[in-house]
Amino acid sequence: MTASAGPRHAMPPSTTYAVETHGLRKSYRTRRGRLMAVAGLDLMVPAGGVHGFLGPNGSGKTTTIRMLLGLIRADAGDIEVFDEYVPTRLPDVIDRIGAIVEQPKFFPSFSGHKNLQLLASGIGAPAARVGRVLEEVGLGDRARSKYRTYSLGMKQRLAIAATLLKDPELLIFDEPTNGLDPAGIHEIRATMRGLADSGKTVLVSSHILSEVQQVADTVSIIGRGRLLAQGAVDDILDAGSQESARVGIADPARAATVLAEAGFAVRSLPDGMLNVAAGPRAGQSATDLDLAQITRLLAEHQLYVFELTPVRADLESVFLELTAEDHLGATSRAPQ
pLDDT of 128-149, one tens digit each?
A: 999 999 999 999 999 999 999 9
pLDDT of 284 reads: 55
pLDDT tier for residue 12 given thresholds of 50, 70 and 90: low
pLDDT of 10 reads: 62
pLDDT of 7 reads: 57
First to last CA, the chain: 20
The CATH class of the 17-238 domain is: alpha beta
pTM above 0.85, yes or no: no
Domain ranges of the chain: 17-238, 244-312
pLDDT of 286 above 70: no
pLDDT of 190-234, one tens digit each?
A: 999 999 999 999 999 998 888 888 999 999 999 989 999 999 998
pLDDT of 41 reads: 97
pLDDT of 211 reads: 85
Of residues 79, 54, 84, 158, the one with CA closest to residue 115: 158
Per cent of the chain over pLDDT 90 is 67
The topology under which CATH files domain 244-312 is Alpha-Beta Plaits (3.30.70)
pLDDT of 49-104, one tens digit each?
A: 999 999 888 899 999 999 999 999 999 999 999 999 999 999 999 999 999 988 78
pLDDT of 6 above 70: no
pLDDT of 1 reads: 32
- Cα–Cα dist 276/25, whole Å: 40
Supply the mean pLDDT for the chain: 88
Query: Any bridge partners for residue 305, and if so which?
Result: 249
pLDDT tier for residue 318 given thresholds of 50, 70 and 90: confident
